[in-house]
Structure 1
Amino acid sequence: MTALRRGLLAAAMLLSISVGRPAFADDCVPLKSTVSPARLAALSRGFNADGWINGAPPGRALLQQLRKAGMSHVRLPVPAERVMPRFAAKDEREASLRVLDGALKQLTSLGYAISVDLHPGERFNRLHKDDPDAARTELQEAWRALAGVIRSYPADLVFAELLNEPDIDADRWQNEAEALAAFVRGLLPATTLIVGPVNWQRADSLPRFRPLADPDVVYAIHFYDPMVFTHQGHWDERDPLHDIVDLPYPINAGDPEVQALRRDLQARGAVKALAMLDTAIAAARDKPGADGWLAPALQWQQQFSRPIIVNEFGVLKAGAPRQSRLRWLAEVTAYARAHCWGWAHWELAQGFGLVDAATGKPDPGAMRALLGAPGRPEGAPAARRDR
């Protein structure tokens, strides 16, 4: 693709992204950011397409429906071990890169921006802890391969997320992130990078992470608080959260449903689950809503004037009351819009997904909750503005 064609395609796609619903709250005053406002707008509303690279991709009709509804961004997790020489044979690596190329081709044709997320599993995380030099080599080889695909697409449309949820200590990751960003910048000079802190990329971990020297970076946090609500009905029967179901949001000690759940856990002898619930009830006195949990990230942003995206958040559908789930989703995205943060829901069609299993189409209630008024779920609060 020639430079002229890439430029024309990028302009057309960014125009398609910018039309329709406003990206942020009408009274939002964007930061004086070193990242292009058009690129930040492209990241404003999205979802994770987990499983595309190593499973079945979503259908084109579904992607079109989501794009028409107002989604502008797809976060595309690439299983790190599938593109690292230590963990995958050449044929497997090349096959994964072909799938990535096909995904980028389809998504850009539909008008999406895409963040390519290097998403490790347990094997790389063990290596990362035990052998830093070997891990650095694998990261560089992975990004060398990914860059070979990404550079064929307009830099305004494809973002590079350095590493999902780095599982090492904060000081070490600070140094590694700087070095990895410089390496990837050498491969992709015009691409906006995405990076986040350690400790599951929690909002309260961001204050320990200094902005990188590279100015063209968006900072990613993940949000699942309170975990006892978002992960109730956990898929692993050994996890205490598996024993908790029908917990409403917000969590209030005086709520009859919360009291009934406590009695049920006591009667079943679910000691660990009961302790987790009681901890969440106590925490809710100081942090009744999303704003309390997300405040550390907002304070960091106000200090450093760097853009933020919440590129993972969601509620496991198996155990959560539907209206509470929708209320929580609406609260998170309203807060993000009010503070000019992008967001990407976790995920599309699995346990946390946006798709209605009965119809195979986007859940209208979840879409209204995410995208905001009109149709905000009853009881969903407007975002607080803490400027």
Structure 2
Amino acid sequence: MPVPQTVAPDRLAALSRGFNADGWINGERSAPPSRELLLQLRKAGMSHVRLPVPAERVMLRFAAKAERDETLRALDTALKQLTALGYSVSVDLHPGERFNRLHKDDPDAALREMKEAWSALAGIIRAYPTNRVFAELLNEPDVEAGRWQEEVESLAAFVRQLLPATTLVVGPVNWQRADSLPQFRPLPDPNVVYAIHFYDPMVFTHQGHWDAQDPLHDIIDLPYPISASDPAVRMLRQDLQARGAAKALGMLDTAIAIARDKPSVDQWLEPAVAWQQKFARPLIVNEFGVLKAGAPRDSRLRWLASVTAYARAHCWGWTHWELAQGFGLVDSSTGKPDPGVMRALLGASKPGKR
């Protein structure tokens, strides 16, 4: 598939292989990665860092001015370090529960807060090369699709005035799923990359969930691909039945049924391919990953490899979620990139190649 040319080719190449640095900017709880780790990943072929900035820390409705100023200084420091190491960076406005509640209850106020936040963020971003630092307008907008379409067009036009040459990154509602794209129209602005998130099948990628109240917490060692005839799947079903984990068992059985029609990532991502063929706009899968707590390692690596291979085949960038936490690509025992995960992600790709 040819690469859509609405965004400069060097910028799309910069977005081709990356990871999310979640938790880097978070006030007293910030956990910046070491320079050594960033260098190791850069040398391995990673070109892009998606840098989540907690929205509530840069919105004066939720944060004191001192807190916002500290957050903006931390962003500037991170951008200096990352660009010096040769990375491109997406600055991701990443909301939490307080903003999402406002977004649903008072959309007009939420739009004002987003514009005010981007006024502050643009003051930092405009100091950096426009082909290296990009602006992601809002992570996983949690509102109705028609409302978000109106808001994002207004927000993008506003940010474009602040950052005339910066590539913008936007995505659809409903967790930015691929099957949400058909209801999302491209923006009039051509200098935009469209971002989707991918975690399907959820029963596999989120097994061993961190919340003990979530039924997925009860699912462990589910292999990928999912098949009713797999002995490991049969054993898991028996275990869930024996433990009376009815909700988890129901989720597993639903996943088994869906897998008959969607046995691989290809079928899950087809709506994004169709959308791109229709509109000829560039795409990136800027969140995808498997929670390490419960997934069999070989299945996790197989799933990751299939996602990045599919992205490469369709000239999409990708950005793994995340670096060093529950989904992370860092081996917690060594503090270094997990060699198996890196092989799965990068495949046969080499630095400088799509």
One fold, TM greater than 0.5?
yes
Q: Report the TM-score range of the alignment, normalised by the length of the smaller protein.
A: over 0.9
Q: Which amino acid counterpart does residue 2 of structure 2 have in structure 1?
A: P
Aligned-partner Cα distance in 2 for 1:136–1:317? 36
1:49 corresponds, among 21, 42, 56, to 21
Aligned-partner Cα distance in 2 for 1:32–1:357? 38
1:191 corresponds, among 157, 166, 172, to 166
Pairing of 1:20-169 with structure 2 (within 5 A): 29-54=1-26, 55-169=30-144
The aligned counterpart of 2:220 is 245
Q: Retained in 1: the 8 A contact 2:4–2:282?
A: no
Q: Which amino acid counterpart does residue 224 of structure 1 have in structure 2?
A: Y
Pairing of 1:252-267 with structure 2 (within 5 A): 252-267=227-242
Question: Do the aligned partners of residues 32 and 313 (structure 1) sit closer, same or farther apart at CA in structure 2, a change above 3 Å counting?
Answer: closer
1:148-192 CA distance string (max 9 Å, x none): 000000000000000000000000000101000000000000000
SS, match of residue 259 in structure 1:
helix
SS, match of residue 106 in structure 1:
helix
Aligned-partner Cα distance in 2 for 1:332–1:44? 13
What's the RMSD between the two structures over aligned residues?
1.0
Aligned-partner Cα distance in 2 for 1:33–1:177? 22
Matched, 1:228 2:228: no
Q: Which amino acid counterpart does residue 80 of structure 1 have in structure 2?
A: A
2:177 corresponds, among 202, 226, 230, to 202
Q: CA deviation at 1:134?
A: 1.0
Aligned-partner Cα distance in 2 for 1:269–1:204? 33
Aligned-partner Cα distance in 1 for 2:198–2:4? 25
Q: CA deviation at 1:277?
A: 0.1
1:50-70 CA distance string (max 9 Å, x none): 000111100000000000000
Aligned-partner Cα distance in 2 for 1:132–1:283? 35
Aligned-partner Cα distance in 2 for 1:243–1:336? 31
Q: Retained in 1: the 8 A contact 2:293–2:326?
A: yes
Aligned-partner Cα distance in 1 for 2:201–2:38? 30
SS, match of residue 199 in structure 1:
coil
Aligned-partner Cα distance in 2 for 1:355–1:199? 29
The aligned counterpart of 2:301 is 326
Q: CA deviation at 1:308?
A: 0.2
Pairing of 1:288-327 with structure 2 (within 5 A): 288-327=263-302
Q: Which amino acid counterpart does residue 314 of structure 1 have in structure 2?
A: G
The unaligned stretches of length 5 or more in structure 2 are 350-354
The aligned counterpart of 2:352 is none
Q: CA deviation at 1:30?
A: 2.9
1:216-239 CA distance string (max 9 Å, x none): 000000000000000000000000
Aligned-partner Cα distance in 2 for 1:288–1:32? 28
Aligned-partner Cα distance in 2 for 1:32–1:125? 32
Q: Which amino acid counterpart does residue 111 of structure 1 have in structure 2?
A: G
SS, match of residue 56 in structure 1:
coil
1:233-253 CA distance string (max 9 Å, x none): 000000000000000000000
SS, match of residue 249 in structure 1:
coil
Runs of 4+ in 1 over 3 A off after TM superposition: none
Q: Which amino acid counterpart does residue 166 of structure 2 have in structure 1?
A: T
Q: CA deviation at 1:198?
A: 0.1
2:312 corresponds, among 305, 324, 337, to 337
Q: Retained in 1: the 8 A contact 2:50–2:89?
A: yes
Q: CA deviation at 1:373?
A: 3.0
Aligned-partner Cα distance in 2 for 1:208–1:368? 35
Q: Which amino acid counterpart does residue 216 of structure 1 have in structure 2?
A: N
Aligned-partner Cα distance in 2 for 1:231–1:83? 30
Aligned-partner Cα distance in 2 for 1:157–1:52? 19
Q: Which amino acid counterpart does residue 49 of structure 1 have in structure 2?
A: A
Aligned-partner Cα distance in 2 for 1:224–1:210? 23
Q: How many correspondences in the alignment?
A: 347
Q: CA deviation at 1:32?
A: 3.6
Aligned-partner Cα distance in 2 for 1:240–1:32? 41
SS, match of residue 260 in structure 1:
helix
Kindly, what percent of the aligned residue pairs are identical? 80
Q: CA deviation at 1:33?
A: 1.7
Aligned-partner Cα distance in 1 for 2:3–2:203? 33
SS, match of residue 330 in structure 2:
coil
Aligned-partner Cα distance in 2 for 1:199–1:136? 18
Aligned-partner Cα distance in 2 for 1:207–1:308? 13
Q: Which amino acid counterpart does residue 12 of structure 2 have in structure 1?
A: L
Q: Retained in 1: the 8 A contact 2:194–2:282?
A: yes
SS, match of residue 201 in structure 1:
coil
Q: CA deviation at 1:137?
A: 1.1
SS, match of residue 119 in structure 2:
helix
Q: Which amino acid counterpart does residue 160 of structure 1 have in structure 2?
A: A
Q: CA deviation at 1:132?
A: 1.4
TM-score normalised to the size of structure 1?
0.89
The unaligned stretches of length 5 or more in structure 1 are 1-28, 375-387
